[in-house]
Amino acid sequence: MQPTRHLITIAIIWAMVGFAASLWEPLAPIWLWGGGVAAVFILVDIVAGFLQKLPTVERTLPGRFAIGIEQMVPVKLHNPGAMSLRVQCYDGLPGDAVSGELPWTGRLPARGHAAVKYPVTISERGLKDFAPAHLRIFSPLRLWTRNCRSGENQTTRVYPNYEPVLRYALLAMANRAEQMGIVKKNRTGMSREFHQLRDYQLGDQLSKIDWKSTSKRLSLISRDYQEQRDQTVILAVDCGRRMRALDGGVPQFDHCLNAMLLLAYTALRQGDHVGIIGIGGSDRWLPPVKGVQSMTTILNHLYDYETSTSPSDFSEAAERLMTRQRRRALVVMLSNIRGEDGHQLIEPLRMIRRRHVTILANLQEESVTKRIETPAAALDDALEVGATAIYLEERAKVLGELRAHGIFTVDSLAKELPIALANAYLGAREMV
């Protein structure tokens, strides 16, 4: 049991009266009488506090959280005792969780309960543990408090922020994906997958005429083709130390995950298979899955991906990828390369390019872009701008060499990467 502010205030007042009684003797009886009465109430209150039955806590966690997205957590506090209780409750949140409405303070009716909902925002992905709640129970006269913990340890999953995927889904249902900047290109007839027969139209190529049907109908009949389905897209995400850098307060790695989710959703809607492989300190592999319902599988696979302090070994990653994906596919590698990575990166990507259509999605650092656009007002500023220009020139040189070897490249800021990557996928898909 711990004293409250009320008990400390009573003790201070009694001490002040005692000091005054030492200076003026007529106050001594009042001091003694008041102290005796206060002691009785204090003792009765502490005994009553010990006899109070402890409340219990039931927490209902949402099925999933998304980083940076506020979620409501319902909590029910039960009072099994015959007296009402005044309680202060602070739930056992994970270390990276924030709630602006805790601790909750209120009264629990006798043999009743109180239902509480509080908002929680979690800033990191992965498995998160909610510990038992911390309770502070006030004695009947609120002179003492008793601390205890109640409830269960519960675990929940925190996923990447897939809001862009949901927004795209809603727009796609209304055939308005172009509002997000995703350009759907019409490539009918390029993939040679037969769709249907139709009447000949002026301008149709002779190779599209179905002569057998034409001879039966005695009129020209053309074959209609559609984009080939059942292709495979492999997302290779760099989990090395370069991806730990912050961009807009969020690690670049999380920006990549958001872009991967939108690309995965786009590919699944196109009827393609989507697989995922981790490179740079990670040996994770998700075999290709198909169907929009497979987004749940992809989310469950990606939610606990973490970066490491290891450098990215692109040669080893290329060998693993070639071993696990032998059928021709579209490989999308997401990383943050620099000029010095050229000799380590170009040859592995060339090896992948021999079998697969390859896209390298490279993240630009927003701070670097801002620095090159800021006017130089002093010598130090000019030196920084010059070094930044050299840095960007070396990166552009590596990307140019990759393009010369037939590798598609996307060089984009983190906030623009999801849309740029989706457009690159739609542009390269006909090459698979």
Same domain, 116 and 259: no
Residue 380 domain flag? yes
User: Do 417 and 322 fall within a single domain?
Assistant: yes
With beta carbons less than 8 A apart as the criterion, state whether 255 and 336 touch. no
My answer on whether 382 and 269 are in the same domain is yes
Residue 127 clears pLDDT 90, i.e. is over it: no
pLDDT attached to residue 189: 38
pLDDT of residue 75: 92
Q: Tokens in use for 77?
A: 């506090």
Say which residue, 250 or 30, is predicted with more confidence. 30
Q: What is the mean predicted confidence (pLDDT) over 3-28?
A: 85
Instruction: Check whether residue 243 and residue 154 sit in a common domain.
Output: no
Mean pLDDT across the chain, nearest whole number?
82
Q: What is the CATH number of the domain that holds 11?
A: 2.60.40.10
Rounded distance between C-alpha atoms, residue 314 and residue 108, angstroms:
60
pLDDT tens digits along 138-192? 988 888 888 989 888 998 888 877 666 556 654 544 444 454 454 555 444 344 5
Residue 256: in which H helix or E strand, if any?
helix 252-269
Q: Following DSSP, what letter does each residue of 286-302 receive, concatenated?
A: EEEEESGGGHHHHHHHH
Q: Residue 134 — very low, low, confident or very high, per pLDDT cuts 50/70/90?
A: very high
Greatest mean pLDDT among 208-212, 233-237, 245-249 lies in: 233-237
Domain that holds residue 105: 1-159
Q: What is the average pLDDT across 324-341?
A: 85
Domain co-membership, 22 together with 138:
yes
Q: How many domains does the chain have?
A: 2
> 288 pLDDT band (50/70/90 cuts)?
very high
- Domain boundary among the residues 113, 136, 159 is at 159
Does residue 200 fall inside a structural domain? no
Alpha-carbon distance of 271 to 191, in angstroms, equals 14
Q: Would you state the pLDDT for residue 7?
A: 86
Does any domain span residue 64? yes
Strand, coil or helix: 37: helix
Question: Could you say which of 127, 159, 191 is where a domain stops?
Answer: 159
Number of helices (H), then strands (E), in the chain = 11, 21
Q: pLDDT by residue (tens digit) across 33-72?
A: 888 888 888 888 888 888 888 889 999 888 788 887 888 9
396 within domain boundaries: yes
Residue 214 lies in a domain: no
257 with 389, same domain: the answer is yes
Residue 144 sits in the same domain as residue 245: no
- The reply to whether 188 falls in a domain is no
Q: Is there a contact between 318 and 352 (Cβ–Cβ < 8 Å)? A: yes
> Same domain for 119 and 258?
no
The pTM (predicted TM-score) of the whole model is 0.68
Both 298 and 401 in a single domain? yes
Alpha-carbon 312 to chain mean position: 22
Domain assignment present for residue 72? The answer is yes
Q: Using the 3D structure, point to which of 159, 182, 212 is the last residue of a domain.
A: 159
CATH (domain of 295):
3.40.50.410
With a pLDDT cut of 90, the percent of the chain lying above it is 8
How many angstroms separate the most distant Cα atoms in the chain? 129
Instruction: Say yes or no: 372 and 238 in one domain.
Output: yes
Q: Is 105 in the same domain as 245? A: no
Whether 140 and 249 map to the same domain: the answer is no
The SS3 of residue 115 is strand
Any domain includes 208: no
